[in-house]
Amino acid sequence: MLRTQLSEDPRREPHEKETALHLEGDGSQFSVTSFKRVVYAKLLQRDEFSVKRLHVIDDDGQDHAVNSLDEAAERSLTIIGVTGQLPVGAVNIGTSRNSNSHADLVK
């Protein structure tokens, strides 16, 4: 990511810079979308996080979506958000847990 910078989209209002978690299909993965730099920067550092799409802007201020960090770096794009997946067991709400059981998500 040396040629890629992380930023928040200057055109979005603060209330538009959100993070969403959705429990998918069989319930083993969360779909995560975030436009909050502090959140998506940490997601990108997690081995468990699988990038599906990077929301980026180019030097002309145009929005794009790319599929990998390498693609963003090759084109020197600024990342403004991410969409990806996290295993249910990688998400901690409340106290830590060692189970993928949905019953243990919130205590």
Nearest in space to 30 (alpha carbons), one of 99, 101, 91, 103: 91
What is the average per-residue pLDDT within 91-102?
Answer: 68
Domain ranges across the chain: 5-12+20-90
**pLDDT reported for residue 100:** 65
What is the average per-residue pLDDT within 12-18?
Answer: 85
Whether 106 has a pLDDT exceeding 90, the answer reads no
The answer to whether 43 and 82 have CB atoms below 8 angstroms apart is yes
Residue 92's pLDDT band, with cuts at 50, 70 and 90, is confident
**pLDDT reported for residue 12:** 86
Whether 104 has a pLDDT exceeding 60, the answer reads no
